[in-house]
Amino acid sequence: MDVPIAANVLGTAGAICWSIQLLPQIVINYRRHDTTGLQPTMMMLWACAGVPLGVYNIVSNFNIALRIQPQILTFLSLLTWMQCKYYGNKWTLLKANAVAVPVGILLGGLECGLVFALREARDNNTDWPIIFMAVLSAVLLCAGVLRHYWDIYKERTVRGISFMFVAIDALGDLTSLISVFFEPQLEILGMVIYGSELVLWIGVMAAGGYYNLIPWTRERLAQRRSRQARQRENVGAAEDMYQQQAARSSSTVFRTAASELESLPTTLTQRNVAHSR
């Protein structure tokens, strides 16, 4: 289905999602000064995945948004990796930059060289290298997410990862996947790349619902029931106290009246004696 406008719009939407996907995670890491649970291996795998994905998208002549998308992925992944090392492994900023910057330059140069090489191969009707790039990018992207699956399995919780980041990334995968349908030729490998990661993110969100959301909801409901029970106890105690005070007040009134009746004959006798005198 050749609909260039739809392909560009959806591809741009996917690129925008991928441009901001890691920003919520980066902000959370900065505010907490902690990356516990966020896997640096995942971030480095994603940075490396941007190379074959970029090569595949560029050589396949995808829309401009999908060509830029992998470059943004690599940059943000390296930035998040630096946060993992700085906050998690207590590296200095100098040490983190000393590793991340050369890696970024190396990945950029490698991608540029592969683009020229694979274009030449495609002109010579050799398609297996571009197929390999597509498969490699899908494997690296999925391996990065699967690394987080292992942490979920060990800890029985989804920790260290922003669910907003997951949702935005999944939305980027979805829009990019749909945009492939509107390209001049239906690229099955492109569908596999974005579809496989989308499925894995859905799994992470499902795990978050099971391990995080359901216990949190139960705890909130239990706290609410506990507050309501305490309120009922407080109301009951107040009513009991009121009834006890009312009972004491009424008994005091009766005792005062009785004592006055008892003292009345004595008072009359004293007055009679005084009068006789």
User: Does 42 map to a domain?
Assistant: yes
Residue owning tokens 């990019």: 176
Q: Which two tokens stand for residue 98?
A: 């000393």
CA 269/CA 92 separation, integer angstroms: 103
User: Does 165 map to a domain?
Assistant: yes
Mean pLDDT is highest, among 52-61, 222-231, 266-275, for 52-61
User: Does 137 map to a domain?
Assistant: yes
Position 164 pLDDT exceeds 70: yes
pLDDT value at position 257? 52
Q: Do 131 and 186 meet the contact criterion of CB atoms below 8 Å apart? A: no
pLDDT value at position 268? 46
Position 277 pLDDT exceeds 60: no
Position 259 pLDDT exceeds 60: no
Q: Do 47 and 146 meet the contact criterion of CB atoms below 8 Å apart? A: no
**Lowest model confidence (mean pLDDT) among 132-136, 211-215, 263-267:** 263-267
Taking residues 189-194, report their average pLDDT: 75
pTM of the model: 0.70
Quick: pLDDT tens for 195-216: 888 888 898 888 888 888 888 8
User: Does 117 map to a domain?
Assistant: yes
* Structural domain count, the chain: 1
Q: Which two tokens stand for residue 14?
A: 């996917």
pLDDT value at position 18? 72
The domain in which residue 156 lies consists of: 4-212
- The pLDDT confidence band at residue 188, using thresholds 50, 70 and 90, is confident
User: Does 276 map to a domain?
Assistant: no
CA 156/CA 169 separation, integer angstroms: 23
Judge residue 180's burial from the number of C-beta atoms within 10 Å of its C-beta, 0-12 exposed, 13-18 middle, 19 or more buried.
buried
User: Does 119 map to a domain?
Assistant: yes
- Mean residue pLDDT across the chain: 81
User: Does 241 map to a domain?
Assistant: no
Higher-confidence position of 89 and 64: 89
How far does the chain reach from its first CA to its final CA, in angstroms?
A: 131
User: Does 261 map to a domain?
Assistant: no
DSSP state of 1: -
**Lowest model confidence (mean pLDDT) among 47-61, 107-121, 144-158:** 144-158
pLDDT value at position 82? 95
Taking residues 39-59, report their average pLDDT: 90
Higher-confidence position of 79 and 144: 79
Q: Which two tokens stand for residue 72?
A: 């943004």
pLDDT value at position 245? 73
Quick: pLDDT tens for 90-104: 999 999 999 999 999
pLDDT value at position 1? 55
Integer CA distances (angstroms), 27 to 1, 35, 78, 161, 251, in order: 39, 11, 15, 11, 69
Higher-confidence position of 113 and 255: 113
- The pLDDT confidence band at residue 218, using thresholds 50, 70 and 90, is confident
Integer CA distances (angstroms), 157 to 30, 154, 207, 210, 213, in order: 22, 8, 8, 9, 10
Judge residue 240's burial from the number of C-beta atoms within 10 Å of its C-beta, 0-12 exposed, 13-18 middle, 19 or more buried.
exposed
